[in-house]
Structure 1
Amino acid sequence: MKKITLLFSLLITFLASSQVKWMTLEEAINAQKIVPKKILINFYTDWCAPCKVMDKNTYNQPVIAAYLNENYYPVKFNAERKEKVTVFGRTFVNSDLEAGKKKNAMHDFTKYMNVNAIPSAVFLDEAGNPITILQGALSAKELEPYIPFIANNEFKKINTRAQWENYQKKFKSSIKD
């Protein structure tokens, strides 16, 4: 019985540690002021099936979750949220929703970040400036090369497609199949 309890405890600990510790955008911006880190914003909607798959299989993959938790302030942002958000000295609302124009209206912050597809991941630097956007659903293995590439500022050394392809060829995945 003690062995079963120990195994169950280890399993719970492993599962809890393999989840991304999501923050609000406001929390991430405030945390950045204390300890500068990059921000990854996961833009999603409640109805988006690929978003749910990414939550389950990409972001909750242990290697991805651990890396994001350690090196980024990970943010989940509902691209159709109703609530206002105040960041970067501005207040963003869902103006189309407020005006009654659209049922599934994109939030103005979503538009401000140039998100045109859901799911999308937007990377911000330590000052809150956009670095890049990855649009569409990605598997854990597809996302993995980007997160250290951006976290370690390797993107600043890449100027051509050939350099990016060379980086990808040399990248060694930590994800076991």
Structure 2
Amino acid sequence: MNTKILLNLLVVFALVQGAVAQEINWLTIEEAIALQKNEPRKIIMDVYTNWCGPCKLLDKNTFHNPDVVDYINKNYYAVKFNGEGNSNVTYKENTFANPNYDPAKANRRNSAHEFTRYLRVSAYPTMVFFDEEANFIAPISGYLKPQQIELYLKLFKSDKYKEMTSQEQFNEYYKSFKATFKE
């Protein structure tokens, strides 16, 4: 094969791989909080479980959408947290564990992690939002398509949620929101 053709094919392959390999920069909550000290950003935490079908769809369809990836990586620190996992988590000088975790149930329903309960997560998937000082803002439960999560990403990033004191105000924001992320 001609060397020029081979080099061109390698360049094209590398570009395609780069486009496909675009990922959210997932961190632990401790890493995200440490980064906030030098560059304040809000945090989005994906609370998932290994057995959760909608969690897998959220990861595949939403968290791999180029618009979502780009927006989150530029504006948030992203945390992925197994809501029924066995890791220890330190948050606000408290350590959370999962004392009832059963390794035999690693890929099916297990005990909820103490941090999951602390964050008031009652369904999977849930996206938990934190402010620039790692203070809890809100949990948003359920599978969200890219344009649906865009609404919350922009609501919390802009601090508009602070102005909303009623469900009616949120409903008004929801109705007037113009999504720009592609499906």
Aligned twin of 2:31: 27
**Aligned amino acid, residue 10 of structure 1:** L
Residue equivalent to 2:160 = 154
CA distance in 2, matches of 1:134, 1:167: 16
For the pair shown, the structure with the greater C-alpha radius of gyration is 2
1:75 aligned partner: 79
Q: How does 1:129-148 map to 2 (within 5 A)?
A: 129-148=135-154
Residue 95 of structure 1 and its aligned partner are, at CA, apart by 2.4
Task: State the 1:176 CA deviation.
Answer: 2.8
- Match runs of 1:27-66 below 5 Å: 27-66=31-70
Kindly provide the amino acid, as one letter, of the partner of residue 171 in structure 1: F
| Structure 1 position 173, deviation (Å) | 1.9
Alignment size in residue pairs: 172
1:165 and 2:152 aligned: no
Tell me, in whole angstroms, the C-alpha distance in 2 between the residues paired with 1:143 and 1:42. 12
Q: 2:20 aligns with which of 15, 24, 28?
A: 15
Give the distance between the partners of 1:38 and 1:130, measured in 2 at CA: 10
Deviations 1:63-108 (A, max 9, x none): 111111111110000011112112210111102337xxxx700110
Report the Cα distance in structure 1 between the residues aligned to 2:173 and 2:121, rounded to whole angstroms.
Answer: 26
User: Percent same amino acid among aligned pairs?
Assistant: 38
Residues in 1 aligned to 2:182 and 2:68: alpha-carbon distance in whole angstroms: 12
Residues 13 and 127 (structure 1), Cα distance of their counterparts in 2 relative to 1, 3 Å cut:
same
Contact 2:146 2:182 in 1 (8 A): no
Give the gaps of 5 or more residues in structure 2: 103-108
5+ residue gaps, structure 1, are none
1:44-75, CA deviations, whole angstroms, 9 ceiling, x for partnerless residues?
01111111110010111111111111111100
TM-score under structure 1 length normalisation:
0.89
Provide the secondary structure at the position in 2 that maps to 1:172: coil
CA contact (8 A) 2:128 2:138 kept: yes
Deviations 1:97-134 (A, max 9, x none): 37xxxx70011011000001011000001111111111
Distance across 2 between alignment mates of 1:153 and 1:15: 32
Alignment partners' CA distance in 1, 2:100 and 2:37: 32
Whole-Å separation in 2 of the counterparts to 1:58 and 1:11:
20
- What is the Cα deviation at residue 162 of structure 1? 3.2
TM-score by length of 2: 0.86
Partner Cα separation in structure 2 for residue 75 and residue 20 of structure 1: 9
| C-alpha RMSD over aligned residues | 1.7
